[in-house]
Structures are given as structure tokens and as C-alpha cells.
Chain A
Amino acid sequence: MTKITDSPAKFSLPKLTYRVWHVWRRNFDVFMKTIKVNFLPSLIEPILYLLALGFGLGGFIQPIEGVPYINFIAPALVAISAMYGGFFECTYASFVRMYFQKTFDAIIATPVSVEEVIAGELLWGATRAALNSTTVLAVIGAFGLISSPLALLVPLISLLGGLLFASLAMCFTAIAPNIDFFNYPAFLLITPMFLLSGTFFPLSQLPPVVEVAALTFLPLTHLVNLIRGLVSGRAEGFMLLSLAWITVVTAALFLLSINLMKKRLIK
């Protein structure tokens, strides 16, 4: 017999079963229904960045470490789309499902547990991230900005990175008193990360203290680092460090977010 002790008091490892996929499937079904309005327009944005920054601004910028500017920012756009995908899915979208639609309440009344609901949401957030970044990958590929078959690993890396951002997002969802609360992490965390993670200029341009801080605290720096390496084919040892950093932080945030959500949902 299964033992489920949904005790919110102690930090615990979630007990997850295949039922996580039922939750994932629910979100996937909605996604497929609304793909034309919710997904395709999001493709326009990276194309605009490519045009404006890559072709437009890039014409005035000298190559970075021998790489043309447009080739420098293209992989970053892939990583950024993974960040946005994971983060927004598990903040605004999860909050709507939890708070306004009471979807979690409805699911918890079935054999699916709270932990499985949250894990399903996180995996769905990671999936959204991977879908976003894979699409952007295809776009930069179409512009001839991929130089290595290693780029085929990008969806997998985006799934992992997406799980990180989804888990980070879910921590905020667990403590959000209302939906406007997400303006704080969106503007104070995501926007700085968007600009300062070696996305549009090399980290080495920043004062050393800021550079070290970015590498220590900003997950996007590591995701950009990994994806840039795979897309350009210039793999380096530092990438393994980034992979390790992302793996460890993802695992920690995954567990933390599930525990925080249990605390919020189980009274």
C-alpha cells in the first residue's frame, strides 16, 4: 500500500509516480489547443532581435573574439527564450491555474498528489522552455547562424535549463500573495539576467566583481555559455562546469519549490 504523508511541516523528498504525466498532459492539451495564439506570436520576438541587434546594430560592432556579432548573440537568444518559457509558465500561468481556476484543487481530489501536481507543472514549464528554444534554434539555423551539429543537443540542455527556471519561478508562485507580485522577480531578476548574462556582450566587459557575481548567481550565464558552445562548436572545459552548476541548482530548486508549494497548499 502506498503511504502518502502530505505533511507540510518538514522538508521532504517528494514521492512521485507516473501520475506526474497526467498533469503534464493536461497542460500539453491546452497548449495544443491554443498553439496559434499563444506560441507562434512568441517567435516574432527573437526574429526582431536578430534583425535589430544582429543585422542592424551588429553592422557597427567589431567581431567578438573573432565571431561576428550576430553569431555571438544568436545562441543567447535561444537561451533567453528557454528562460522566459520556463519562468513565465510557472509564475503567471501556474498562478492562474492554482489561484483563479482552482485547477490544482480539482486534481488533488483525485489519486494524484500535491507533489505530483507541482512536479507536473515544473516538467511542463521545462517543456515549454525547450519548445521555445528549439523553435528559436530553428530560426537562427534558417539564418545560417549554426556552425556545429552539437547544436542538436540544445533542446536537451534547454529542457534542463528550463526546469531550473520553472523551479525558480515556482518558488515565487509559492509565496506570491497576488499575481502582480511577479513584477518583482520579472523586473528585478529576469530583466537584469536578460542583459547581464553574457547575452549581448561578453561577461569580461563587466567589472570583475560583477562578472564573478553573474557567474555565481545568474543561471542564465551558464545556459548561454552551454548553448553558445554547442551552437558554435567551440566546446571548452568551462562548459562542464556550467553543466554541473545548472544540474545542482536545478535539483535544489526543484525540491525547494515543491516543498514551498506544499506549504502553501496544504493547510
Chain B
Amino acid sequence: MFAVNSLERYMSSSEILIKAHNLTKKFGNFTAVDHINFEIYKGECVGFLGPNGAGKTTTVRMIHCFWPLTEGKLYVAGFDVSTQAREVKRIVSVAPQEDNLDPDFSVIKNLQVYARYFDIPKAEATKRAKELLKFFQIEDKQDVLISELSTGMKRRLILARALINEPQILLLDEPTTGLDPQARHMVWEEVRSLRKRGVTIILTTHYMEEATALCDRVLLMDNGKIIEQGNPVELVKKHIGAEVLEIDNDEKLLHALKAEFPDARFEAFGDRIHVFTMQPHGVFERFLERNSLTNVTIRNANLEDVFLKLTGRRLRE
């Protein structure tokens, strides 16, 4: 509920920080990002959610001026990314999908050298570096080479590096892909606390739990297009309802369900059937009380169900 309220708050305070108009990126004849339009408000945490190849990274890379646009317009804090890259890059930071930490340097030197690219004086850089290492709980590794860090620590160092210039906008490209659950939750906590500090965050992910846990708003991407957007909870409510019933493929049972829920949608996944109604919590439970069944599951509806409904494809493929 907090998320919905905060979304409304942002929408009404509504300082637009990023605005994309017909944003398009082609690689040769292949269109990776296809005329998308979106706005990001100050202080929001927005997720680009979609399967691999949807165009999330490409979108992020255009926001931080890594790749030029093929078509369209993109403004970041009022600056045009096509002509004012330097201004944009000063206030936007990115934690990229792949590890590009500098293996030739120790942990703290990575931050100090990176700070230099932003013209941050050495003393200030060292001060910020130490604070960030503490915040990300890697201060005891400060003199260690990158190759000696675990994947989770590398991730956190990449986040720390992205914050060295105290950016207004933080781009997190798949911040937790490849992390174990513990490290993932640690990153989530850190993202939440950054949000509280007022940093506008854009993250890409193909984990729906991640988008649901962190984002005020998600933009669902598929094949280079934005197919739906909104608050994660609202989207699920709007497209799926509260719960999903999973059952074995059984003629008689299907028949009974269709009689009980005339508006329900049935989708087959392998030998299981997923049943969607737009109805509130508890309807499936009451149905089950009246019919003794085995091998049935009632679970909460989620963003993956939304994605599946809209595209016919699973997020993780």
C-alpha cells in the first residue's frame, strides 16, 4: 500500500526527470528499442521488467549516453542526451550488468580512480570512498584486489562506485542477477535506503519479485516495446486479480470450475492448468472446501502472470 501512495505522491509532485519520446535504437536492421515513450519522476524507483533481449540494457545505455539514439528524443534533467552528454553523465551513474571494475587496482583505489574521472579532488574522493565502503559493508576489503572479491561483494562495489559522484539518477542494470538469495536481499536493502535518501532509481530486472519488492512503478518490456506500465500491485490487480489456482488437467474439474467461475481464464502449462479470475481473495478456497481435490495449489497472482497474459510468454526464458 505504501508503494501505491508514494506513487501518487510522485505523480502529483511530478517533477519529470527523464522524458523519452519515440526512443528508438537499431543495430543494423534489428530494432532493439522500438519507439518507446516514458517519463520518470524525481525520487521514484522504476523498474524495466522483461525477458532477456527485451531491450532493457539498450534503453539504460541510451539514458547514460553510452549509445547514441537512432531515432526519437531523450531528455535527462532537462539535458538532451544527444548533444549534452557531459552534463548528463555528471548527474547519472550506472551500475552495469557486467563487471567492469578495474582489476589492476585495489577496492579503494577503484573508487579513487573513478572519482578522478568526475574531477573529484583526491581528499574528497577518499572520504567518500571510505563512507561508501562502510555503507556497503566492504570496508575490511579496501586494500584487496578485485579478483579476490566474491560476486556479491563485486556487485556492492559496483554500486559504491556508481555513487561516488553523488548522482541524482542511479541506473541499476540487473543489480542482482547471479547473486545468491542472501546477497540479493542485501542489495535490495541498500537500494531501499538509497531511495530514502532521495536518489531516483531505475533498475532493470527479469525477476518479478525484485520489481515488486523495490519499484513504485514498473514498465513491462517485450521485443523493444513497452507493453504496460504501472504500480506492480495495481497491475496484478488490474490484469489478474488476487489469486491463481493451479490444478491438474482434469475434464470434470475444469467443467466444475467453468460453471462456478464463468469469467475465468484457463491457461495450460505443461500438464498443469492455471485458472485466473478477477475475483478477490478466498474464492478458490471456498470452491475447494466444497470439492475434495488433490494436487491443487492456490497462490498469489504476480507480475509474471501479468506478463504472460499480455505477451503469451514467460519472463524467464
Contact = CB atoms under 8 A, between A and B. Distances in A.
B89 A109 contact: yes
B117 A111 contact: yes
Contacts of B66: 105, 108-109
Given A33-B104, A101-B103, A4 B98 contact: no
A198 B109 CA distance: 45
A1 interface: yes
A107 to B, nearest CB: 6
Question: Chain B contact residues: over half helix, strand or loop, or mixed?
Answer: loop
A112 B117 contact: yes
Interface string A11-42: 00000000100100110011001100000000
Contacts of B116: 22, 25-26
A111 B90 contact: yes
Contacts of A6: 65, 68, 85
Contacts of A147: none
Interface residues of A, number: 30
A244 to B, nearest CB: 36
Nearest to A29: B113
Nearest to A102: B100
A205 interface: no
A108 B65 CA distance: 9
Contact of B100 (A19, A105, A113): A105
A179 to B, nearest CB: 16
B102 A266 contact: no
A267 interface: yes
Contact of B89 (A33, A103, A110): A110
B100 A5 contact: no
Given A110-B89, A111-B90, A267-B27, A103 B117 contact: no
Contacts of A8: 68
Given A26-B113, A109-B94, A103 B86 contact: no
Contact of B85 (A4, A22, A25, A26): A4
Contacts of A110: 89, 114, 117-118, 165
B241 interface: no
A33 B178 CA distance: 32
Contact of A106 (B89, B100, B109): B100
A204 interface: no
A43 to B, nearest CB: 22
Contact of A2 (B87, B100, B104): B87
A3 interface: yes
A266 B67 CA distance: 6
Contacts of B68: 6-8, 266
Interface in B74-95: 82-87, 89-90, 93-94
B86 A113 contact: yes
Interface string B101-131: 1111100010001101111000000000000
B75 to A, nearest CB: 14
Given A102-B98, A266-B68, A111 B105 contact: no
A19 B118 CA distance: 9
Contacts, number: 78
B55 interface: no
Given A2-B86, A33-B104, A113-B85, A267 B67 contact: yes
A107 B84 contact: no
Given A7-B68, A106-B102, A2 B114 contact: no
Nearest to B89: A111
A111 B118 contact: yes
A105 B66 CA distance: 8
B96 interface: yes
B166 to A, nearest CB: 13
Interface string B257-284: 0000000000000000000000000000
A5 B98 contact: no
A103 B66 CA distance: 14
Contacts of A2: 84, 86-87
B206 interface: no
A109 B92 CA distance: 9
A105 B102 CA distance: 11
A23 to B, nearest CB: 8
Contacts of A30: 104-105
A2 B93 CA distance: 19
B64 interface: yes
18 contacts: A1-B84, A2-B87, A3-B83, A4-B84, A5-B82, A30-B104, A102-B100, A103-B100, A105-B66, A106-B100, A106-B102, A109-B66, A110-B89, A110-B165, A111-B86, A111-B119, A112-B117, A266-B68
Given A19-B117, A22-B116, A106-B100, 9 more contacts: A2-B84, A4-B86, A25-B116, A106-B96, A109-B93, A111-B86, A111-B89, A111-B119, A113-B86
Interface of B: 27, 64-68, 82-87, 89-90, 93-94, 96, 98-105, 109, 113-114, 116-119, 165
Interface of A: 1-8, 19, 22, 25-26, 29-30, 33-34, 101-103, 105-113, 266-267
